[in-house]
Homo-oligomer: A and B are copies of this chain.
Amino acid sequence: MELLEKKISECGKIFPGDVLKVDGFVNHLIDTDLMCEVGKEFYRLFAGEGVTKILTIEASGIGIACLAARYFHVPVLFAKKSKSSNMAKDSYVTKVASYTHDQVYDVVVSKEYLSPDDKVLVIDDFLAKGNALNGLIDLVSQAGAKLVGCGIVIEKAYQDGGKLLREKGIRVESLARVASMSVEDGIKFCI
């Protein structure tokens, strides 16, 4: 998605430790007009799939998921991070390791809101190793719901999260795929 790649090139900041900081338009300050375009593109890609629910994870997935949901006219369910889950009985729980925070979280959704009748589109801001995404996919699977696919804003395509998911037959659509990045050479996108 050209508009998005342009914005990443102009406003994304590269930091040591393979960090691409996009908190000026994605995950702290949200450029809602741009994220509406992102949502519209997800809709274009998944419109024919009968999506009944969008699943994301707090916090930075929520805004993107909600702005996409207006095109689908479906509810957004956001999974909650918890250091120790005390809602296990009524919830689907999975474990997600956070690269950014060097921690393992329980990630939970209430059983009430995800069912075998659901056709779920998973949306998140980043895909690198795929930790968060695999957790969300596990929650869909626990609920017996159908996974339609995954919509990602930025994929670090040089890490293997996306590759492994696609090899399993899961449809992963990333709107910007970073081929490489470094402080010296900047950001290069997959063609």
Contacts and interface: CB of A to CB of B under 8 A. Distances in A.
Interface stretch (A106-114, A150-158, A168-176): A106-114
Nearest to A68: B32
A24 B90 CA distance: 14
A28 B70 contact: no
A78 B24 contact: no
A74 interface: yes
Given A62-B63, A63-B63, A67-B66, A28 B75 contact: no
B32 A66 contact: yes
Given A24-B112, A70-B67, A32 B75 contact: yes
B62 A29 contact: no
- Which DSSP category, helix, strand, loop or mixed, fits chain A's interface? mixed
Interface string A20-33: 00011100111111
Contacts of A30: 62, 66, 69, 75-78
Given A24-B113, A113-B24, A32 B63 contact: no
Nearest to A110: B28
A28 B78 contact: yes
Interface in A2-30: 23-25, 28-30
Contacts of A75: 25, 29-32
A63 B30 CA distance: 11
B28 A80 contact: yes
Nearest to A55: B29
B66 A28 contact: no
